[in-house]
């Protein structure tokens, strides 16, 4: 099996552009998208999904896996990615290039996380109780190890830990070291790191480009068909759904998209920054082609 090459970074960092340029330069390269929202069919503009022209030029995997009305677990995504990577590896002329914006999904692929299942009935019962503090107290009693690593205000993680602990009959903390371990890997991970001000400007530009390309119409169409709770929370979709439902003006919704996207980019950077195995490349926004050096490194790794 060839060592996978990964290009990663926060939203609007240019990783997809780098991947496309590198894939077209190195014959046989196929792109595997590692993105929690690009798996949804019809959610194209707001997720910056590769265009039909890009997909015709370079084979892509990991896109349009489920309807936007569905939920997709990390386990299901890893299974689909494993199948795609195995297929690419079976061809001696092909090489996989992973383009990663969702850190958990990348960790699941590279580090083979032991991922707990889901127990919808347990989760539904927990979600029906709005008392997050009580949930945290219960978690401290059932799984003190997990509780010690979770912010008492982080309801989503508390509910998930309780769901697994109650549903599986074993502590959530017993499912291996999870995302806090960084075992040796053959994967070559290349990270794109922009100065914060430059990335903020790129995010602002990206939001306005998406709106000009018809994001509002895309969201309106999806709203008529329904979206799963996860899909509804996607950047841009949540804010424009709020607008369509009369909860915000369009200007306020667009401003909220940019703010939330900036916040999301910070969280992505924090996630990736924990991994000492990543080779970071700092971008000079004043360079003639700021991403050219990153492309050159990716190309060199693909050719090894």
| Six-digit token string for 134 | 């009580």
- Contact at 8 Å (CB) between 88 and 95? yes
Can you tell me the mean pLDDT for 196-208? 98
State residue 3's pLDDT score: 83
Total residues found in the chain within this entry = 304
pTM of the model as a whole:
0.85
Which among 286, 146, 284, 303 has a CA at the least distance from the CA of 294?
284
Whether pLDDT at 1 is above 80: no
Which among 69, 50, 75, 68 has a CA at the least distance from the CA of 60?
50
What is the pLDDT of the chain when averaged over all its residues? 94
Q: CATH classification of 5-113+185-302, choosing from 2.60.120.560, 3.40.47.10, 3.40.50.300, 3.40.309.10?
A: 3.40.50.300
Whether pLDDT at 180 is above 70: no
What residues does 32 pair with on adjacent strands?
A: 61, 98
Q: Which residue has the tokens 């022209």?
A: 53
Q: Which residue has the tokens 């306005």?
A: 208
Query: Which CATH fold would you assign to the domain 120-174?
Result: Histone, subunit A (1.10.20)
Q: Where are the domains of the chain?
A: 5-113+185-302, 120-174
Can you tell me the mean pLDDT for 209-237? 96
Can you tell me the mean pLDDT for 158-183? 85
Distance between CA atoms of residues 257 and 87, nearest Å:
37
The better pLDDT of the pair 104, 189 is held by 189
pLDDT tens digit sequence for 247-302: 999 999 999 999 999 999 999 999 999 999 999 999 999 999 999 999 999 999 99
Three-state DSSP class for 234?
A: coil
Q: Could you give the residue ranges of the DSSP H alpha helices within the chain?
A: 15-25, 52-57, 74-89, 103-111, 120-127, 132-142, 144-147, 155-168, 196-212, 215-225, 229-232, 237-244, 250-273, 292-302
State residue 198's pLDDT score: 98
Which among 116, 115, 113 has a CA at the least distance from the CA of 168?
116
State residue 274's pLDDT score: 92
């Amino acid at each position: 099996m060839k060592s996978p090459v990964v290009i990663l970074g926060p939203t609007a960092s240019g990783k997809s552009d780098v991947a496309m340029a590198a894939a077209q330069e190195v014959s046989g390269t196929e792109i595997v998208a590692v993105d929690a929202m690009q798996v949804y069919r019809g959610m194209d503009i707001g997720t910056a999904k590769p265009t039909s022209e890009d997909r015709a030029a370079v084979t892509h995997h990991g896109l349009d896996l489920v309807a936007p009305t569905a939920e997709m677990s990390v386990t299901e995504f890893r299974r689909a990615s494993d199948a795609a990577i195995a297929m690419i590896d079976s061809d001696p002329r092909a090489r996989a290039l992973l383009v990663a914006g969702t850190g958990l999904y990348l960790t699941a692929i590279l580090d083979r996380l032991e991922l707990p299942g889901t127990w919808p009935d347990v989760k539904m019962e927990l979600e029906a109780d709005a008392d997050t503090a009580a949930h945290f107290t219960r978690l401290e009693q059932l799984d003190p190890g997990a509780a010690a690593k979770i912010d008492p205000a982080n309801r989503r993680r508390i509910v998930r830990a309780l769901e697994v602990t109650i549903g599986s009959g074993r502590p959530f903390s017993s499912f291996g070291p999870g995302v806090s371990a960084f075992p040796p890997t053959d994967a070559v991970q290349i990270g794109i790191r922009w100065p914060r001000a430059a990335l903020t400007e790129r995010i602002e530009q990206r939001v306005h480009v998406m709106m000009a390309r018809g994001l509002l119409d895309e969201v309106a169409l999806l709203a008529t068909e329904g979206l799963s709770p996860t899909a509804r929370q996607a950047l841009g979709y949540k804010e424009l759904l709020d607008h369509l439902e009369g909860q915000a003006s369009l200007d306020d919704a667009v401003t909220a998209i940019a703010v939330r996207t900036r916040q999301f980019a910070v969280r992505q950077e924090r996630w990736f920054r924990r991994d000492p195995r990543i080779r970071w490349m700092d971008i000079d926004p004043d360079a003639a082609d700021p991403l050219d050096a990153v492309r050159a490194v990716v190309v060199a790794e693909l050719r090894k």
